[in-house]
Amino acid sequence: MNLFTLKMTALLLMVLDHIGFYFPAAPVWLRWLGRGAYPLFLFCMAQGCAHTRSRKRYLLRLYAMSLFMTAWGLLLDARFPTERGYGNHNIFVPLLLAGYCVSAVEAFQRDPRRGGRLLGLLALSQLAYLMLPALLPFTRGLSGDVLTGVVPSLEVNEYGFAFIALGAAMYFLRDRREALAAVYLLFCLWQFSAGAAEGDPQWMMVFVLPLMLRYNGERGPGLKWFFYCFYPAHTAALFLLARALL
């Protein structure tokens, strides 16, 4: 499987997951299938970091999309208020943070001083996130999910720090399939032990591991901007459709 096929598979699983999110009457297995979407996107991010022509531009695109999704969510909630709301849909925050952590670690390996500066900037951004309500009083009424779209937080994002670490591991183990599979399986086992008792099906992400292991190293068709545009478009369409059917 090439990278394009993996992205399309992740996209399909994501749409099924969001159908289950917006339509309570939808079968629960849609959310189960959707558990594999984010890990596949993480895997594609790791490969993207390895093969992009400009890591800096790649990360800036992710941050620009994070800002856009923050504004997009605020706009939809203000224009089309519902009891449940648009929801927290900003996958770009954890993808950005995972990519930045990869860059910082690699920079530290080559030049500890430069890597230290990058890690220091990451630490300062986490402090800025915590201090933002005190520094800018108008942000006090905003949720953490909104604030993290502007000042990305390692803790407050769609899937939390553990998945950011998993994304970094996918990058550094991208040429060691056996090690990648072992780490991924252990992560899924941890998800099962931590959440299964509470009905959290995230451990079902284990079923997309064979797809990752079939990756052949090829890019496939580009369509880069299709994926960036599809994410806000499909969430808005499902949100508005669900609102219309209420």
To which residue do tokens 């990305």 refer? Answer: 152
How many Cβ atoms sit within 10 Å of the Cβ of residue 246?
A: 7
Token readout for 48 is: 């993207």
Quick check: 35 pLDDT over 90? yes
- Band (pLDDT 50/70/90 cuts) for residue 9 is very high
* Of 231, 214, 211, the residue nearest 9 (C-alpha): 211
Please give the model's pTM, rounded to 2 decimal places. 0.93
| pLDDT tens column, 146-196 | 999 999 999 999 889 999 999 999 999 999 999 999 999 999 999 999 887
| Helix pair 161-172, 177-195: axis angle to 10 deg | 170
Share of residues in the chain with pLDDT > 70 (%): 100
* Residues 186, 7, 89, 238, CA torsion sign: negative
Q: What is the mean pLDDT of residues 192-206?
A: 88
Is the distance from CB of 47 to CB of 173 less than 8 angstroms? no
Amino acid 100: pLDDT: 96
